[in-house]
Amino acid sequence: MLAAHYATDYHTQLRLDYLLSLPPDYAADDTRRFPLLFFLHGAGERSQHPAGLDAVKLHGVPKRVARQHRLPFIVAAPQCPADTWWPDHVPALVGLLDHLCAAYRVDERRQYLTGLSMGGFGTWHLAALYPQRFAAAVPICGGLPWYVDLESAAQRLRHLPLWVFHGARDDIVHIDESRRVVQALKAAGSSVKFTTYHDAGHDAWTTTYAGTKLYDWFLKHIRPA
């Protein structure tokens, strides 16, 4: 079940509405901690959408959870404010992560980050700024914002487990946006994984978030103490 919540970043005073789902066995043992899966949606699901916060359920991890496919994670999916994009809100996103870790039994060594399209850009940017925070990250059909120094970002990201997805026929975010980051990462010594869907356009996420392969991959990674 996805429940609506909100948190206010005390530095920026920005309110972030978000959806939250707890694992099926969360209440069974009040000493057990759970991995956190933090999802960033695309540009079409920002707060100006007529469906409001429910728009976050249209794609990706929240869509899967909304259809009763329970996952062994605490799932949090914030909604980007109208007419902005995720890289504008890194302080608020970090504040929300801190709030989640304080309010719920999060295993802080198993915080995972993923997002699609605009959320793919947000995933790259947030991970590059806070690589020590996450155990693994999966950006889908995104890229680094143009103003970020690619080589410096690659150096910061080179030890973070990354799995990148993009459609070869994407005419919204060209696949070169992912390729250039992957190439820089490999030059920096990263073991980044890169999956190209040769017949896919912009929607590289439906296949990626289906099944259990991606979630099993996340759970293999634990951030070093």
Residue 224 falls within a domain, yes or no?
no
pLDDT at res. 9: 66
Question: What letter does residue 80 receive in the DSSP assignment?
Answer: P
Residue 188 falls within a domain, yes or no?
yes
pLDDT at res. 133: 97
Residue 92 falls within a domain, yes or no?
yes
Q: Please, where are the H alpha helices in 104-175? A: 118-129, 150-157
- Asked if residue 137 lies in contact with residue 182, where contact means CB atoms within 8 angstroms, the answer is no
Could you read off the pLDDT tens digit of each residue along the chain, which spans 225 residues?
A: 677 777 776 666 778 899 999 999 999 999 999 999 999 999 999 999 988 899 999 999 999 999 877 899 999 999 999 999 999 999 999 999 999 999 999 999 999 999 999 999 999 999 999 999 999 999 999 999 999 999 999 999 999 999 999 999 999 999 999 999 999 999 999 999 999 999 999 999 999 999 999 999 999 999 987
pLDDT at res. 14: 79
- What tokens were used for 82? 């109208």
Residue 182 falls within a domain, yes or no?
yes
Residue 225 falls within a domain, yes or no?
no
Instruction: State the Cα–Cα distance between residues 62 and 97, nearest whole angstrom.
Output: 17
Residue 97 falls within a domain, yes or no?
yes
Residue 83 falls within a domain, yes or no?
yes
Helices (H) and strands (E) in the chain, counts: 7, 8
Residue 28 falls within a domain, yes or no?
yes
Domain that holds residue 78: 3-219
Q: How many domains is the chain partitioned into structurally?
A: 1
pTM for this prediction: 0.95
Q: Residue 93's domain is classified under what CATH number?
A: 3.40.50.1820
